[in-house]
Amino acid sequence: MNTQGQGSDPGRSVTHSATGSDPGRSITHSRRIGVLISGRGSNLQALIDAIAEGSLNAEIAIVISNKADAAGLDRARAAGIETLVLEHRSFASRDDYDAAIAAELRSRGVSLVCLAGFMRLVGPRLLDEYPQRILNIHPSLLPAFPGVDAQRQALDHGIKVTGATVHIVTGELDGGPIVVQAAVPVRDDDTVELLSARILIEEHHLYPEAVRIMLNGGWRLDGRRFFRALE
């Protein structure tokens, strides 16, 4: 671990040092990320594109899907990224499944895990392997509308502003410390599809930004509050 102090205690303020400065010392110093998907993979594509255009200094070491037919797998293959299908049904328990994912990520020197439309809850076996090192993107301004169908929940509730959130994954569904958010106004003539499409545009900016912030280090958590490095 490259944390100063015990990084897994949310009650403490811990500063995370920059990654990439000493690649030989520890895998947590790498800029290698692992992306977990279940479907379309447009956020994966946003990460691939940001890396390709040089706005994100990272390397996607592996893309893992729990579904063999996830379209995102083709996006990864097209970009020359290693892919792996791990179907949760082939494992006896969530623990076994999470342990298998953790082993695959570790063996490739992954230091940061990005859930990008991964429709599985992450259990303690994976969380303990990557404390404060798993990100998720969610299509609402958390803590509003966690869980599935966030855009529909927002429309049904009649709110006027929603958005997207990237947060650190904890044991609480969509409940971890918030890294970055973007707001999206709700229009009177919105449908779930129209609103989702506008939120998705923001997601594709937000996820590369969040990964950049995490990999650059210098960020710290104070309770639930995430503070990025001073620039």
Token pair in block for residue 186: 């709700």
The conformation of residue 14, written as its DSSP 8-state character, comes to E
Q: Which two tokens stand for residue 19?
A: 């990654």
Q: Is 41 in the site for ligand GRF (CB under 6 A)?
A: yes
Touching ligand GRF, residues 53-92 (CB under 6 A): 72
Cβ neighbours of residue 31 closer than 8 Å, sequence gap 6 or more: 19, 20, 57, 58, 59, 111, 215
Residue 112 in contact with residue 208, Cβ under 8 Å?
no
Nearer to ligand GRF, 105 or 164 (CB): 164
Is 137 one of the binding residues for ligand GRF (CB under 6 A)? yes
Beta carbon nearer to ligand GRF, 34 or 139: 139
Using CB under 6 A, pick the residue from 2, 42, 83, 181 that binds ligand GRF. Answer: 42
The Cα–Cα gap between 34 and 3 comes to 20
The span from the CA of 92 to the CA of 12, in Å, is 35
- Cβ neighbors of 126 (< 8 A, separation 6 or more) are 98, 99, 101, 102, 113, 134
Q: Which of 16, 29, 138, 167 is catalytic?
A: 138
- Give 60's strand partners: 33
Instruction: Report, in Å, the least distance between residue 176 CB and ligand GRF.
Output: 14
Q: Which of 34, 109, 117, 176 binds ligand GRF (CB under 6 A)?
A: 117
Among 129, 190, 202, 203, which residue interacts with ligand GRF (rule: CB under 6 A)? 203
The binder of ligand GRF chosen from 19, 28, 30, 43 (CB under 6 A) = 43
Given the complex with ligand GRF, which of 3 and 165 has the nearer CB atom?
165
Region binding ligand GRF by CB under 6 A among candidate stretches 34-42, 50-58, 187-195, 211-219? 34-42
CB of 153: closest distance to ligand GRF in angstroms?
A: 13
Catalytic residue list contains 16: no
- Separation between Cα atoms, residue 64 and residue 35, nearest integer Å: 6
Q: Token digits for 195? A: 């609103």
Catalytic machinery residues: 138
Which residues of this chain interact with ligand GRF, rule CB under 6 A? 39-43, 72, 116-117, 137-139, 200, 203
